[in-house]
Amino acid sequence: MYRTSPHHTQFSSDRPQGKHRSRTLLLGALALASVSFMGGVFFAGTARARPGDQSPYAIVEQMARVLTLVENEYVDPVERDRLLTGAIKGMVAELDPHSAYLPPEENAIFQSETEGKFAGVGVEVELRDEQVLVVAPIEGGPAERAGVRSGDRILAIEGESIRGLSLDRLVKKMRGEPGTKVRLSLLGPADTHPREVTLTREIIRVASVVGRRLVGDIAYLRIKQFQSTTSTEFLRTLAHLRSLSSRPLTGVLLDLRSNPGGLVDQATAIADEFLDHGVIYATRHRGKVVEEVSASRGGSLITLPVVVLVNEFSASASELVAGALQDHQRATIVGAPTFGKGSVQTILDLGGGNGMKLTTQRYTTPRGRILQATGITPDLLVEAPLGPPGTRIFREKDLENHLPPQDHETSSHPPRAPTSSLPSSPPDSGMSRDVPEDPTQSKDRALQVGYQALLAKIKK
């Protein structure tokens, strides 16, 4: 079991300690108390049957009967492991959109994403009008070296059409063991015929922080997600921006748009750079406050004016940071209302490469605001441009089985959103990928408003 300090969730290593280990994302913070595993069965403390309670073994017996009938009577032979994995996945997925059982392959992918590295071809893609477009090849990766360009359409992988594939399944097809090869069929905007490229997969490292020094000596810092190296990258990028001129920085434009969250200790470390005291967030479990996490003294950005950019795809740990800075009146929040994921997930190691992402707590901002299914309302509202007719933005409150804002509330169950439970930014979100030194020249409306709001704060 991992303990937490007053400031950070502590992970001593990525190796198991004792019989099991947990990682926490915000996704979340903290591990459940009194948790143990026996023979692959999860126990939280000791379950005691009360008079009138149905025996927990009755449902297990029912599952065994169903398993036997399916194995014996189904039209074709079936694999028992597949059935049991499906049963476990269904049990955990029934809880809420963010809890999940992770078999070895999915668990490995999930862990690699939080570490900011994976084995693949090094290309960022997005789904647009049922077509898979290359947003950009990752610098120095196999795709860039092979001439894959922004705007290329991916038509097929290993000769098989990708039409109808979800983005998640497409990514899985392109990932694989380092040193293995994958063949892509591409069609560029100026191409008359598809071209094929064969790429050798390798370990790709993805930067989570990018920065630019803007006109007026303003530091623009964008955090794409909170992975294991984010706080280190943030300080390194900040130092680089400071080194570009002998003049001191005058303000910070922190861009958390389309940031889906990540590791809570990294989000806490970022918030701590802007705060010199006070609570950053608190967590609640079954109606009780479990912990309050406070800022330490001496952050590197405690004196500079700050504006934070958010949008409807800012979720979880990015909402934690924005909420803390808003409550302490350290930053003006600019953009669209956020996604509204205010729940905490703990990553539990089940052994054998299996894992479980389990919702364990809700979190609140320093002033006690619960962001679950509500999100953050910006101080300056700048809605993203509307997409094609019929386009709808899905937030946490639109997801089936979403956790209600308060304990013991009954959640409504609207139709499941036809998207992943974690938000991803669509191509028409209005967010610029290239930030000019003078953002007033950008077509990115939120960037313009945020920059101008920061200039006004600096002049006060």
Q: Which residues are catalytic?
A: 316, 327, 341
Cα within 13 Å of Cα(316), Cβ side? 28
Strand 332-335, strand 380-381: pairing: parallel
Handedness of CA 149, 155, 156, 159 (dihedral sign): negative
CA distance 74 to 68: 10
Interhelix angle 264-274/317-327, nearest 10 degrees: 20
Burial class (CB in 10 A: 0-12, 13-18, 19+), 369: middle
Who's near 389: CB < 8 A, 6+ residues apart? none
> How far, CA to CA in Å, does 306 sit from each of 243, 311, 421?
20, 17, 30
Containing 173, the helix (H) or strand (E) segment is helix 167-174
CA distance 255 to 261: 13
Residue bearing tokens 């020094």: 213
Burial class (CB in 10 A: 0-12, 13-18, 19+), 62: exposed
Tokens of 142: 């196999």
